[in-house]
Homo-oligomer: A and B are copies of this chain.
Amino acid sequence: MGRIYTAALCIIGDEILSGRTQDKNVAQIALWLNVQGIRLMEVRVVPDIQDKIVKAVNELRAAYDYLFTTGGIGPTHDDITVDAIAAALDVPVVEHPEARAMLERYYAKIGGELTQARLRMARVPQGADLIRNPVSGAPGIHVENIYIMAGIPHITAGMMEGLTGTLEGGNPVISKTVGAYAPESEISELLKDLIKRFDGIAVGSYPFFKEGKVGSNFVVRAEDEVLANAAIEALGAALDEAGFPSVPGGI
């Protein structure tokens, strides 16, 4: 096993904390990070308040290899992410010439004016470079180990696309699932035995209630695909033997 690369995600947005908007970024970023060989270890959601953002950013960028942020990079008064991250890094906010040029071209093309409000979107913490966004064109911002992305999920996805393959990572975690109509309380010993038998795996148990029956999906996670496959097969066999017919891939 090589080095494990870790990341945190800081979601900046009153709209998530008020319940107005259902977050979709955690899952899509988590899945994408895993493909990059990076493990999402912590998520924080903080309000649009500079002190709260600064505190979270400083704690998370120190604790993990990478910090990703989403939200608060638009043109309005509540978009304070760039200012807060500059404050966290103790650097000034500057205009990025390439970002300004991109905005100039964009508004010339659509016939709009490059107002002061729109120029806000060319502001970056000093020392930053841009994250290309092949999907929507709107760039993200990279500074030190921080990757500043949009909050709107399909724009976030474009920025991830631009970052794909550029981040140093380790091995992705392989997940294998098996399901059974077994109450998880009846197979807890079986799971403990599995973990003892296969060194290097983690096992999650996710109960559900479907068509009037209780059951669980069991997920084996490991860096090594051979190990993950061996463990999930052993688990399926053990479930069958215990009288709970196993469903490869989960229910």
Contact = CB atoms under 8 A, between A and B. Distances in A.
B46 A45 contact: no
Given A77-B191, A189-B117, A192-B77, A207 B46 contact: no
Interface in A1-59: 11, 14-24, 26-31, 34, 39-48, 52
A221 B20 CA distance: 11
A74 B184 contact: yes
A75 B20 contact: no
Interface in A176-196: 183-189, 191-192, 195
A43 B40 contact: no
Assembly stoichiometry (copies): 2
Interface residues of A, number: 63
Interface stretch (A90-98, A160-168, A197-205, A236-244): A197-205
Contacts of A78: 202-205
Main secondary structure of the interface of A (DSSP, over half): mixed
A173 interface: yes
Given A185-B118, A192-B77, A206 B44 contact: no
A155 to B, nearest CB: 9
Interface of A: 11, 14-24, 26-31, 34, 39-48, 52, 74-78, 112, 115, 117-118, 120-121, 152, 173, 175, 183-189, 191-192, 195, 202-208, 219, 221
